[in-house]
Structure formats: structure tokens, C-alpha cells
Structure 1
Amino acid sequence: MEIQKIMDVTSVDVGEIAGRLTKTFAKRAAESDENDRFVEANYADLKNVGLISAGVPRELGGGGADVRALCKMLRVISGACGSTGLALSMHTHQVAIPAWRWHQQPTARPVVEPLLRRVADENIVLLSSGGSDWIDGSGTAERIEGGYRITAHKAFASGAPAGDLLVTGAILEEDGDHTVLHFAVPLAAPEVTVLDTWRTMGMRGTGSHDIQIDGFFVADDKIALKRKAGEWHLAFQMIATIAFPLIYSVYLGIAESAREIAIGLAGMKPVSHRRQSIAGRMDTALTAARLAHEHMIATVERDSPSAETINDVMIGRRLVEENAIRVVELSMELAGGVGFYRKSELERKFRDIQAARYHPLQKEVQAEYAGAMALGQPIERIF
């Protein structure tokens, strides 16, 4: 199926545009999953209809979608193909964060505008190395004349086969201090290699391969941020607040689609009190996940990233995780044995939803962070 190009994404709701892609994405999902194949064709369609630049401000040539609209977009796509949704969420949050700065921090506009214009004008795809970096950082930066030589191995770079820029960092050690330097690395650089490593239980089509960086030079004026390793920084308050509602839209979308499949399969059998109970518990868990996700979005819309917003977002993240996983488990129960067959699609969604467990803040860390906030204790090193 050829996807019709949307010439002006700003005139159409991005969730509606995403909806036009779902049948095509759903048809491709099984083959991608079975063959550990990156969802390359879906990325071509996302570019064609303007969803790669959906979060870029309209004034800079993008779709102008806010976080709420982008969450809807990701939910819709993820219901059809979880791998496409998760990979796209990693690009989307890397756009949404500088877009938020463009709107909320006028002094940051000269810094973030060139990147946002490139996303809009060139359809470039941004990769995140957050899966192997997070607060501690990873890799090494060696100071040399005019800048730094970077050596690093980055894991979980979702969308790697389609990536143009890796937004990442490395640790500079000087006089016993460890400083994380943040910068972008072009995937086309000869010092950068995408390693074919992504063989997993679920989310098999995300192309979340490892990336090796061997001696890449970053000039002093290309360092976007310097921060102390191993503790929360103001920039990461912003990143955590904005990124995770987008990422967890994916898991909500998977749970919603699993519920619809299960209801359809259950309708082919006689109704029993037991099936009614399972369906009721499934819908209760889904409502809990939706309410928790709405709480995450509302936190972003306060436009005030802080230690408190991290707490609110991560409480929501934990609740979405637990309830979305429960929805899919109950969907399998409601469907019965037919749900065990690949053709039902439920078993793929069951595998894909497990990835919700592994993003920061994982449950024990989240509980410690929330408890420290409640008791007035330091949270700087809880991550």
C-alpha cells in the first residue's frame, strides 16, 4: 500500500495521520518480528507523511504537535506495531525536548533551533543512547587540542539502522573529577559503527543495536552540556519529565490493542461468569493505566521540570508499566488457548509489553525516589 504524502502536517491532527498508517503497519508487524528485521519500510512512511518532524514547532517547519498530541500519535502507532512505536518514541522525545526549550526558554533558541530545522527540512532521525548512559554516563572522553577524542560502546540505540545523529555523551576524568560531556555524533562518521546485536524476546523490530564509537573527535564548541557524573542535573529533570510520557504511550497503545483482540476472540465463545470476571479485571487495569498516563501528561503540561515532576512522572510510569502488563496478561487469559498462536497477535504483544519493565526508573529505584521525596531526604543520587 502506498501512503499518500501529507504536504502540510500542521493542518491535520498527528494522531489522525498516524491512524492512516495502522493497517499497513499491522500487516508488516509479524514479518518484522519473526525475522528480527528493523521496521525500515514503516520509517519511510513516517517520513513521507511528516511524522518524523511532528514535534518540531510550526514556526520552524514542523508539525507543531505538543507532548499530548505526540503521545496520542505514539499510542495509535504502537497499537499496530509496538516496535515502530517504541523506536519512534526514542526519536520523538529527542525532538520534543529541544522543542520544549524553544517554546519555554527563549535564550535557548539559538542553541536548539538548528537541530529542529534539520529535523523538519531534512527528515533526519535522532537516536538516543539513554539506555546505556542515563545519569551515570558511559564511554570515555580524552581531552586533545581543540576538543575531545571519544571512545564508547552504546547499547539500546533504538532505530539505529535509520539513524542520522546519535545524541549521546562520554565521561571526562580530570583531577579525580568525572564530568559527562553531551554532544551529537553523525552515524555516517567513519569512527561510528552500528553493531548487529539486537536479538531479543520482544520489540524485535526496533533495531536497537549497539553502537561503537572509536576515536571520534568532538570540538569544544560542539559540546552541548557538561555535568557532574552520577547525580541528577537540571537538564535531566527536563529530560525525564518530558521523555517518559512519550515512551510509555507505546505500552498503553499495546495494552489497548491487546484488549481489543481479546474481546474479539472472547466473543466467539459462550459467555461465562469466569470470562466476565477476567474481562472486568482487564478493563479495570486498562483504566488504571490510562489514568496513570494522563497523570504523566498533566505533569508535563505544568511546564516546570523539577525533582517533584520527576517523582510524579515516575509514579505514573510505574503504574502504567504494571497495569499495561496486567492488561496483556488478562487478554491472554480471556482469549484462551487461541491466544497462544502467533496468528492471534496476542503472543507478540505479550512479549513486546515486557519491555515496559526496563526503562528508568525501574520499580525499586522509583519506590526509593518516591519515598525519599515523601520523607524529605536527598534524591540527587537516586536514579
Structure 2
Amino acid sequence: MPTNVASKAPATSAVENTGDCAGGIVEIAHHLSRKLAERAAEIDQNDSFVGENYTLLKKAGLVEAGVPRELGGGGAEISELAEMLRVLGRACGSTALAFSMHTHQVAIPAWRWRHQKVAAVEPLLKRVADEKIILLSSGGSDWIGGSGKAVKVADGYRITARKVFTSGAEAGDILMTGAIHEGEDGSRSVIHFGVPMKSAAVRIENTWRTLGMRGTASNDVVIDNLFIPDANVAFSRKAGEWHPVFQTIATIAFPLIYAVYLGVAESARDIAVEIAKKKPAPDQSLAGRMETELRAAQLAHRWMLDMVARNAPSAETVNEVMIGRTLVARHAIATVDLAMELAGGASFYRETGLERLFRDIQGARFHPLQAGPQSRYAGAMALGLRTEAIF
């Protein structure tokens, strides 16, 4: 049975989020795909980190792809970055998912620099372009509520925290995160800052033993009494409530992250079709249901990117992006389920690659906003109710 189907060009191209980005980083992603696909099974089987793949991505110029050209980067738009991640996701879900965390942490300040004229992000973006540093995200581990403790001291804060689900931690240079500061009046605010991963106050605990996306090495990052100067605090917000910056984060980040899961689903579809074609009487109805589920996921992802293209992050765009996130997850998971059925017993063998994709796609369930909060958020928006504390 073929194991490298994922590296081939998409067989289902009726809905693709290419926009006007047919070349550049998307072509590079296609070029790298075969090598990534060749390594994917071994990485998964050994619970290894995709470190060698990061080296390839860095050499290919994808680390700085989202930095504006004026600041030394590739100047890629969000739609192009999403297409890059979708292509990488078809080849190796773990590589694409881990790299999506860096990609969105670059895309967000790049968008703010371009559209909101925020000059404060320039030094970070220039470092990504010049030094090819890797940014890490702790978004899923603290999100709107925040996590960790920030104690005010002279000229700064002392930070103690455990950040779980830190994808690609061992390759990272700076962890973009936050911690909760409790004021003397009992108020709780979250301060946001970057954590230098080489600091003696930072360590990685190898906790990532999981069902799928094993190669992301999304281990715990433990921060013990790290000093963050006042000047290094990017912004502060009320804990447990949406902030305009987080509306920007949610609007931009999730179309990028979920491009990965779309790629995983497309790869499963292609493998299943190739297996089914070799059967004397393949199940046409089952193949059609699979195709329909995949198209629904593709259309939902296109909607997410349409929201980004408005360049006006708000509570409304968060709602629409998160509706899209739920639909991509639902239909991508259903696509892979049906791919397993269409392939039949062959899907149970590791050799086909389908069982790995089945495990990897389950990760789509767990990013914010998960099903309950997303439904409440959408319902509150529909009813004209407040949403700032729904996350």
C-alpha cells in the first residue's frame, strides 16, 4: 500500500484557499512535502519531535515568510500562509501543526504592523527575519482566562507558571505568553510578554505522550521565578474577558491552525480513494459522502479566511471564525472517518498511513473555542447578548 500519497498534489481542488498566492512559499511547501511525508510515520511511531523538519523549513525561508518585506521577511499574506500550512499538513500533520504556532505568532504582529501601524512589534519581526528565531505559543494553555502567576516587584514582575501544550517547545527561542497579576484590591489582570527559552528560569518537561500529533512535542514549559522587566510587558488586560488584541489573535490564528487539519483530511481522502480504486466494486456512495464532508470542511475554511480578509477583527469576526473552526473540525473528522470506511480493513494497518491521520485529526476537537463555549458564543451573538466572558 502507498505511504506517500500525502505528498502528491491535491486530488480535490474544487475549493482551495490559494487566492493570488500560487507561487512562492506554497511551491516551497510542495517541494518539501515528499521529504516530510517520508519521515512522518517514523516520527509518529517513536514519539520524536519534528526537529529535522524544522531545519528544512528554516533553510527554505518559511520561518520569516510572514514578516513584511519592508522588515526583511517574505511578505506573505494570511491566505498564502494558510495554503502553505495546508500543503504541509497533507505531508506531516505534526510538522504543520507545530509550525502553525510559530506562523500565527508572526502573522499577528505583522498584521498589526501593517493595518494598525503598531510600531512596537517591529523589533520582534526584524529578529524573526534576521535571526530566524522560532516563536512559541501558549494560547491553548491559558487563553482568555490566563494562567500562571505574576508578582509585582521593583521595575517588573516575577513569573511562575506551567504552560502546557507548548508545541515545538524544544525548537523555540521565545514563548509568547502571559501570567495573572492579582492587585491589592483583588482585581485580576493578565500581563503579556515573551519568555526567552534559554533562560535558566525556564525548563521543558517531556509530558507529550498522546493519541495523535505526536511529533509536535507539545510539552510543558515550566517557568520558575523569571524576571520580566516592566518595559518587556507588551500589554495588560482584564483576566477572563475578551480584549481587542485577543479578537485580532483569534481572527488570524485559527484559520492558520485549521488549515493544517484540512490538509490532514485531504490526505486521508486521497489515500482512501487510491485504495478504493483497486477494489473490484468500490462503494460509490461512501466515496461520495466522504467527498461531500471534505467539501464542507474546505468551504468552512474558506469562510474563515474571508473573515481575515475583512481586516477588521471584532467580536463578530471572532464569532464567524469560531463557527468556521467548529465546521472545519466536524467535517474534517467526518472525512477521515469515512476514508477509513472506504479503505476498509486496509485502513487498520499502519502501512497505509490512514490510522495515523485518524489519530492526528482528533486534535481538531481540542483548540479553542471548543464545542460548548463556541455554541454559547454564537448563541449570545444571535440573541444580542454579551460575549466578553464566553471563552
TM-score (norm 2): 0.94
Partner amino acid, structure 2, of 1:80: A
What displacement does 1:207 show? 1.2
What displacement does 1:359 show? 0.4
Which SS does the other structure have where 1:201 is aligned? coil
Which residue of 1 is the match for residue 389 of structure 2?
A: 381
Which residue of 2 is the match for residue 338 of structure 1?
A: 346
1: CA distance, partners of 2:94 / 2:71: 29
Unaligned runs of 5+ residues in structure 2 are 1-20
Partner amino acid, structure 2, of 1:124: I
After superposition, the C-alpha distances for 1:165-192 in whole angstroms (9 at most, x for unaligned) are: 0000000001200010000010000000
2:358 aligned with 1:350, yes or no? Answer: yes
Partner amino acid, structure 2, of 1:70: L
2: CA distance, partners of 1:155 / 1:294: 30
RMSD: 1.0
2: CA distance, partners of 1:31 / 1:288: 31
What displacement does 1:271 show? 2.2
Which residue of 1 is the match for residue 158 of structure 2?
A: 149
Which residue of 2 is the match for residue 267 of structure 1?
A: 277
2:330 aligned with 1:291, yes or no? Answer: no
After superposition, the C-alpha distances for 1:41-72 in whole angstroms (9 at most, x for unaligned) are: 00000000000111011111111111100000
Which SS does the other structure have where 1:91 is aligned? helix
- Identify the match of residue 69 of structure 2 among 58, 83, 99: 58
Which SS does the other structure have where 1:136 is aligned? coil
1: CA distance, partners of 2:303 / 2:292: 17
Which residue of 2 is the match for residue 4 of structure 1?
A: none
Which residue of 2 is the match for residue 23 of structure 1?
A: 34
2:367 aligned with 1:359, yes or no? Answer: yes
Which residue of 2 is the match for residue 47 of structure 1?
A: 58
* Residue 268 to residue 12, structure 1, CA distance change in 2 (3 Å): closer
- Identify the match of residue 328 of structure 2 among 294, 314, 320: 320
Which residue of 1 is the match for residue 207 of structure 2?
A: 197
After superposition, the C-alpha distances for 1:292-324 in whole angstroms (9 at most, x for unaligned) are: 000000000000000000011001000000000
Which SS does the other structure have where 1:132 is aligned? helix
2:41 aligned with 1:33, yes or no? Answer: no
What displacement does 1:105 show? 1.2
Partner amino acid, structure 2, of 1:123: K
What displacement does 1:364 show? 1.4
What displacement does 1:12 show? 4.9
* Residue 377 to residue 11, structure 1, CA distance change in 2 (3 Å): closer
Which residue of 1 is the match for residue 98 of structure 2?
A: 87
2: CA distance, partners of 1:14 / 1:72: 9
Which residue of 2 is the match for residue 308 of structure 1?
A: 316
2: CA distance, partners of 1:172 / 1:365: 25
- Identify the match of residue 136 of structure 2 among 127, 130, 153: 127
2: CA distance, partners of 1:259 / 1:129: 31
When structure 1 is superposed on structure 2, of 10-19 and 165-174 the one drifting more is 10-19
1: CA distance, partners of 2:140 / 2:278: 42
After superposition, the C-alpha distances for 1:132-186 in whole angstroms (9 at most, x for unaligned) are: 1100000000111110000000000001010000000000001200010000010
Which residue of 2 is the match for residue 169 of structure 1?
A: 178
Which residue of 1 is the match for residue 254 of structure 2?
A: 244
What displacement does 1:244 show? 0.3
Partner amino acid, structure 1, of 2:132: N
1: CA distance, partners of 2:322 / 2:281: 38
Which residue of 1 is the match for residue 377 of structure 2?
A: 369
1: CA distance, partners of 2:22 / 2:32: 17
Which residue of 1 is the match for residue 289 of structure 2?
A: 281
2: CA distance, partners of 1:49 / 1:222: 31
When structure 1 is superposed on structure 2, of 10-19 and 237-246 the one drifting more is 10-19
Which SS does the other structure have where 1:355 is aligned? helix
* Residue 346 to residue 148, structure 1, CA distance change in 2 (3 Å): same
Unaligned runs of 5+ residues in structure 1 are 1-9
- Identify the match of residue 218 of structure 1 among 225, 228, 238: 228
- Identify the match of residue 111 of structure 2 among 80, 94, 100: 100
* Residue 209 to residue 343, structure 1, CA distance change in 2 (3 Å): same
2: CA distance, partners of 1:28 / 1:57: 31
After superposition, the C-alpha distances for 1:98-139 in whole angstroms (9 at most, x for unaligned) are: 000111012x12x01100010011110000011211000000
TM-score (norm 1): 0.96
Partner amino acid, structure 1, of 2:179: A
- Identify the match of residue 188 of structure 1 among 198, 202, 209: 198
2: CA distance, partners of 1:161 / 1:12: 31
2: CA distance, partners of 1:142 / 1:210: 21
1: CA distance, partners of 2:382 / 2:148: 34
Which SS does the other structure have where 1:303 is aligned? coil
Which SS does the other structure have where 2:362 is aligned? helix
